[in-house]
Structures are given as C-alpha cells and as structure tokens.
C-alpha cells in the first residue's frame, strides 16, 4: 500500500494519526507539507512524523517526507514523481490540508480568502488531479478527503462564508470525482461527529476545550475502515462514529480525552453555531470565534413578533403561504400553514399570495399603525397583490392579532 498525504504546513493531528495507522499496517507513506520548520504551536515536523511512521511500522512500512506547497502545481508534480520513483506507485490519497478563518465577509481579508480557496479547494483538486493517473494503475485505489457533508443550511454560511465555500469545495471534489471515476477509484469524505483534540481545536476553543473532545484515534480508525473497503464503495460523506458503529464498535469512551465528560458536536452537522459556542463555554472553553448578534432592524423585529403570535387558530384560519417582496430586502416568505418562516433567495414552495411593498410599509402593516390600513385591511402604501385574493384577505386576522400584540 502506498499512501500519499498532503498537508498545508506540516503533518500533525488528524493527518498524522491516519498516516501512522496506515504505516503500522505496513503502508509506505508519503508526507507532503509546506515546511519542515517547527511551528511554535504544532509539535514535530514532517521529518519526525516520517521517522515515527517507520519506527512504528509493525510491518516495516517506510516513509518519504516532501516539502511541498500544495498550491504549486510544479511542486506537487515533483512530490508525486518522487513517491512513484521510491515506492513504484500510489494506491491511496488522503487530502487533509486545510486553512481556516471563521470570520464574516467584512472581517475576512482577501489574502485569507485566497489562502483558504487555494489550499482547501484548489489544493485538493490539484493534488487529486496529479495523483489520479497513478491511482488508476493502483491496487484498490482510494481518495479520502477530510471534508464535511454538504449541509446547505444557511447557518453554516452566514458567519464564515469564505471558509464554508472553501471547505465545501473539498466535498464537491468528492461528489464529482466519485461519479467520474466510479468503478475505477473510490472517492469518499470523512468528518468527525465530535470535536477532535488537535492544536487547531485548542486555538479555536482555548485550554478548556480538550475535555470535550475525542482523540485523533477515532478518525484514524474510521479512515482505515473506509480505505480497507472495495473501490466500489464510493461517493459517501461519512461520519467517523457511524463508520465505526458499522464495524461493530460499541465502546466510544476509548476515544474520549476525558471519558464520561459531555462531548462537543463538530461543526456543520446538527447543532447550530450559537449552540456550539454555548456548549463550549458551559464546560470552561473560551471560543476564539462567536457568531455575530442577530440584527435587530424593523424587518427582523416584525418577524420576531410574528413568531410569537402564530398558533393553531391562525394556522387553521389562514391556510396559506405568503411572499413579501420588499424594496431593499430579499424576498420574505411567511407560511402560517406550516408555522415556518423563510427568508432569502431560496424558494421552498410556491407562494399562494405575493405582496410587493416598501420595507417600511411591511412593518407598519403588521404593527397596525394609524393610516396603514384601508377598509379591507390590506392597502398599505404602494402595495401590489398577486395570487389568491381570498387568502390575501385572510391575512387580516394575523395582522389584527399582531396589532393587539403591540409590535
């Protein structure tokens, strides 16, 4: 088995754990990273990792360390050729390199945007492209990207759009290449269910984060299980715990940094960012990032009030989906029937009634301000209505309830 693992700065944490797991089973590992200089916050170098891989190999696996900037096509090509010359080919590619900045659009310099896109997206695509010809000649070839399921919930974009785009780029490489090379090369993604104790996590959560984490061993064991499967097992976005449960693992305390302590769910799965920050703080961590406070403008305040008054009676009375096209805002959808509010460009279902008006008139209409209503309760400013007029008139009941709530 020939195992090629590119990293950004150095091999550490998750990437190192996966490489050493493979080496212990006799794999020859190729470690590619940007620098061999020790990092003040990251232990070891690519050379010490390579030595550890050779010393720890139960079947005498060998290691090759290459200094490579994975954004540089020539350097990647040279590293791949060195690997092929030394070991005769490549069977497995693990794309682990990643750069992170959990910052909003206005707070993220373009230098960091370029860095994340260059490493996470371009680096993954480029390395895969350069290794693919050799994988096609390999024995049961695999590509495994350390990337997340494609969760399109907007909460995972709004606070760090650039990082999410870059990281999802790695996942989209899985989506496309798995189908492109189906039957020839297995291409999958792996993501942890909980936070993993690494130097990067320590920087994000502070000293108190470790006890809420699992060790890198769980990722290494899950990766090993995936890479041991047939090349026909492809196109999957996998979570480490689920993979190991399928393997019959039941005791997950063995992976906990502090067995029995509550674990922190990882990003991009079920818990919203605000929930993760709260959980981190509850157990003594000091998150280096915090989602910005929600906007408190008139549109948002109106929706907060709408949520407070929608009940079964309103749902039964209206039974409709209303879309408001507001000047200066994205389209706003109100669905009392399902008790759901939608905002943004997405169109989950077709609206029964479409109302176009100024943003200020939207708040006035639901607040019941003097002069905001005509006899039918719907004439506000330059309101234009399309769709089911019967349902449009039924909206008056909700407006009346809002007025009584004294928005």
Q: Quick one: average pLDDT of 315-343?
A: 54
The dihedral through the CA atoms of 138, 62, 254, 289 has a sign that is negative
- What does 46-95 look like in DSSP terms, one character per residue? HHHHHHHHHHT-TT---EEEEE--TT-HHHHHHHHHHHHHHHS---EEEE
> What does the mean pLDDT of the chain come to?
76
Active site residue 8: no
Q: Quick one: average pLDDT of 313-336?
A: 60
Q: Taking the CA of residue 225 as centre, how many other CA atoms within 13 Å lie in the half-sphere pointing to its CB?
A: 20
> pLDDT per residue over 249-276, tens digit each?
999 999 999 999 888 888 787 666 667 6
The dihedral through the CA atoms of 363, 368, 370, 375 has a sign that is positive
- Give the pLDDT of residue 24: 85
- What does 293-304 look like in DSSP terms, one character per residue? PPP-SHHHHHHH
- For 124: left if phi > 0, alpha if psi spans -120 to 50, otherwise beta; the answer is alpha
Q: Taking the CA of residue 227 as centre, how many other CA atoms within 13 Å lie in the half-sphere pointing to its CB?
A: 28
Q: Which residue do the tokens 């290691």 mark?
A: 63
Helix (H) / strand (E) element for 114: namely: helix 110-116
Does the structure show a pLDDT above 90 at 118?
A: yes
Give yes or no for a contact between 226 and 142, defined as CB atoms under 8 angstroms apart. yes
Q: Active-site residue among 163, 168, 255, 322?
A: 163
- CA–CA dist 126, 130 (Å, integer): 6
> In terms of Cα–Cα distance, which of 191, 175, 188, 83 is closest to 137?
83
- Give the pLDDT of residue 211: 87
Cα–Cα distance list, 57 to 14, 21, 61, 271 (Å): 18, 9, 5, 39
- Give the pLDDT of residue 2: 47
- Give the pLDDT of residue 371: 45
Give yes or no for a contact between 239 and 191, defined as CB atoms under 8 angstroms apart. yes
Q: Residue 179's CB: how many other CB atoms inside 10 A?
A: 11
How many residues appear in the chain?
407
Q: Residue 370 — very low, low, confident or very high, per pLDDT cuts 50/70/90?
A: very low
pLDDT higher for 404 or 17?
Answer: 17
Q: Which of these ranges, 160-164, 305-309, 386-390, has the smallest mean pLDDT? A: 305-309
Residues 6+ apart with CB under 8 A from 74: none
Does the structure show a pLDDT above 70 at 15?
A: yes
Distance of CA 292 to the CA centre of its chain: 18
> pLDDT per residue over 31-73, tens digit each?
877 665 554 554 554 444 445 544 544 444 588 888 888 899 9
Q: Quick one: average pLDDT of 143-164?
A: 91
pLDDT higher for 335 or 196?
Answer: 196
Give yes or no for a contact between 399 and 322, defined as CB atoms under 8 angstroms apart. no
Does the structure show a pLDDT above 90 at 220?
A: yes
- Give the pLDDT of residue 227: 96
> In terms of Cα–Cα distance, which of 155, 278, 262, 200 is closest to 12?
200
User: Dihedral (C-alpha) 250, 256, 258, 264: value to the nearest 10 degrees?
Assistant: -110
Give yes or no for a contact between 229 and 188, defined as CB atoms under 8 angstroms apart. no
- CA–CA dist 407, 401 (Å, integer): 10
- CA–CA dist 51, 388 (Å, integer): 72
> pLDDT per residue over 129-140, tens digit each?
999 999 999 989
- For 26: left if phi > 0, alpha if psi spans -120 to 50, otherwise beta; the answer is left
Tokens of 97: 């390199």
- Give the pLDDT of residue 314: 63
Distance of CA 267 to the CA centre of its chain: 6
Q: Residue 357's CB: how many other CB atoms inside 10 A?
A: 19
> In terms of Cα–Cα distance, which of 226, 255, 229 is closest to 239?
226
The pair phi, psi for residue 266, each rounded to 5°, is -80, 170
- Give the pLDDT of residue 113: 96
């Amino acid at each position: 088995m020939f195992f090629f693992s590119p990293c950004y700065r150095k091999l550490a944490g998750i990437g190192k754990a996966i490489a050493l797991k493979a080496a212990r089973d006799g794999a020859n590992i190729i470690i590619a990273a940007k620098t061999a200089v020790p990092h003040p916050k990251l232990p070891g170098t690519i050379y010490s990792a390579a030595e550890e891989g050779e010393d720890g190999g139960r079947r005498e696996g060998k290691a090759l360390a290459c200094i490579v900037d994975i954004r540089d096509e020539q350097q990647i090509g040279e590293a791949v050729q060195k690997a092929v010359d030394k070991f005769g080919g490549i069977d497995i590619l693990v794309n682990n390199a990643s750069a992170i900045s959990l910052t909003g659009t206005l707070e993220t310099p373009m230098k960091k945007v370029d860095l994340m896109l260059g490493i996470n997206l371009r680096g993954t695509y480029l390395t895969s492209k350069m290794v693919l010809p050799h994988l096609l000649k390999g024995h049961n070839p695999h590509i495994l990207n350390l990337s997340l399921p494609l969760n399109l919930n907007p909460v995972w974009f709004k606070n760090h759009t650039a990082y999410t785009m870059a990281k999802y780029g790695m996942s989209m490489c899985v989506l496309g290449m798995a189908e492109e090379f189906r039957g020839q090369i297995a291409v999958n993604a792996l993501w942890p269910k909980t936070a993993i104790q690494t130097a990067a996590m320590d920087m994000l959560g502070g000293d108190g984060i470790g006890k809420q984490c699992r060790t890198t061993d769980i990722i290494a064991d899950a990766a090993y299980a995936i890479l041991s499967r047939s090349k026909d097992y492809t196109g999957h976005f996998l979570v480490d715990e689920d993979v190991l449960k399928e393997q019959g693992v039941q005791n997950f305390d063995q992976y906990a940094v502090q067995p029995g302590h509550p674990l922190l769910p990882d990003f991009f799965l079920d818990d919203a960012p605000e929930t993760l920050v709260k959980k981190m703080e509850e157990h003594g961590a000091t998150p280096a990032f915090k989602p910005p406070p929600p906007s408190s403008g008139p549109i948002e305040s109106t929706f907060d009030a709408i949520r407070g008054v929608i009940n079964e009676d309103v749902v039964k009375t209206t039974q409709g989906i209303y879309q408001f096209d507001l000047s200066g805002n994205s389209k706003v959808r109100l669905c009392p029937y399902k008790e759901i509010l939608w905002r943004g460009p997405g169109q989950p279902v077709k609206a029964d009634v479409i109302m176009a008006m100024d943003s200020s008139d939207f708040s006035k209409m639901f607040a019941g301000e003097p002069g905001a209503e005509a006899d039918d309760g719907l004439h506000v400013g330059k309101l234009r209505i399309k769709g089911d007029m019967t349902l449009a008139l039924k909206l008056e009941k909700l407006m009346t309830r809002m007025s009584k709530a004294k928005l």
